[in-house]
Amino acid sequence: MATIRLGDKAPNFTAESSIGEINLYDYLGDSWGILFSHPADFTPVCTTELGTAAQFKGEFDKRNVKMIALSVDGAASHVEWIKDINEVQKTNVEFPIIADEDRKVSDLYDMIHPKADSTLTVRSVFIIAPDRTVKLMLTYPASTGRNFYELLRVIDSLQLTANHKVATPANWKNGEDVVVSPAISTEDAKTIFSKGVKEVKPYLRMTPDPTL
């Protein structure tokens, strides 16, 4: 069983999907990626999740993020299920749903947790950077649908902190003040961050979002 940790290379795979055979790396290209698994087709919570994901496509596109879903059912089942999703959620699912009947990808990404269910995937989330490294992992039980606003918030944080020497505080939202990296002295920070640095404590310095 594979064990993936933050910073590891996301395992590549080629698999059938609702839009035909895809290779993960080829599909992502130079984009960020979000890979999320679903326990099964034609299930209630999954239907709301995939519909919500489709409704958020514009927001993911703005952030150069490509979505890929997965369940352990087959491609033909996915295609039929998508019709239900589009009808119920009033949307249009365009991203691929991986057909993982042999559990190959599920095992590669450790998406099956036997104490939860021995055959179906839990609700795993992997955010993958353009360099193919895993930047975030989340695991939800089958009974709990994901919060896609939170996934967008995390992506905003990951993309901001990848390019600037900052971190994001609790409950941070895009555009709010950020934390200066502890690796930078306050003196240097005042030079780097021209919008100003507020020293709350020597180890806690705040500065406006450097991208605004």
Q: What does each of the 212 residues of the chain score in pLDDT, given as a tens digit?
A: 558 999 999 999 999 999 999 999 999 999 999 999 888 899 999 999 999 999 999 999 999 999 999 998 999 999 999 999 999 999 999 999 999 998 899 889 988 765 555 556 668 999 999 999 999 999 888 889 999 999 999 999 999 999 999 999 999 999 999 999 999 999 999 999 999 999 999 999 999 999 98
Instruction: Report yes or no on whether pTM surpasses 0.75.
Output: yes
Give the pLDDT score at 115: 55
Contact 53, 155 (CB under 8 A): no
Task: List, in order of start, the domains of the chain with CATH numbers.
Answer: 14-145 (3.40.30.10), 164-207 (3.30.1020.10)
Give the active site residues: 46
b/e map 95-113, b = 16+ CB within 10 Å: bbbbbbeeeebbebbbbbe
Distance, first Cα to last Cα, the chain: 44
Contact 197, 179 (CB under 8 A): no
Q: What are phi and psi of 52, to 5 degrees?
A: -65, -45
